[in-house]
Amino acid sequence: MEERKLWLEAEKKFRYDSNSLVTCPNCKKGNLFITDIAFNEKDISCGGERCIKCTNCEKFEIVLYRNSVPENWYSKNLGL
């Protein structure tokens, strides 16, 4: 349960800054990175999934955004 809380804290950091440097809650060695997958690429405001993955142990979590998407949602996909 504690590890899940740490993943949710990481998600919050990425919500405000998609370039945040966040240590993996699982292995505590690697850094996390995000990939956003829109439900509809022609209308990204509809939401989608934010995949958060570790560069070391490859553990990942997926966060669904349905009604409220972060301001930086999909920005890495657009090259911003």
The pLDDT of residue 1: 65
Instruction: Give a yes or no: residue 32 inside a domain.
Output: yes
For residue 65, list its beta bridge partners.
Answer: 48
Question: Does the structure show a pLDDT above 60 at 80?
Answer: no
Number of neighbours of residue 74 by Cβ within 10 angstroms: 20
Instruction: Give a yes or no: residue 74 inside a domain.
Output: no
Instruction: Give a yes or no: residue 80 inside a domain.
Output: no
Instruction: Give a yes or no: residue 60 inside a domain.
Output: yes
Distance CA 20, CA 12 (A): 10
Instruction: Give a yes or no: residue 73 inside a domain.
Output: no
- The predicted model scores a pTM of 0.82
The pLDDT of residue 26: 94
The pLDDT of residue 28: 95
The pLDDT of residue 79: 59
pLDDT tens per residue across span 29-69 = 999 999 999 998 888 888 899 999 999 999 999 988 887 77
Helix and strand totals (H; E) in the chain: 1, 3
Instruction: Give a yes or no: residue 33 inside a domain.
Output: yes
* Structural domain span for residue 14: 2-65
Query: What is the number of domains present in the chain?
Result: 1
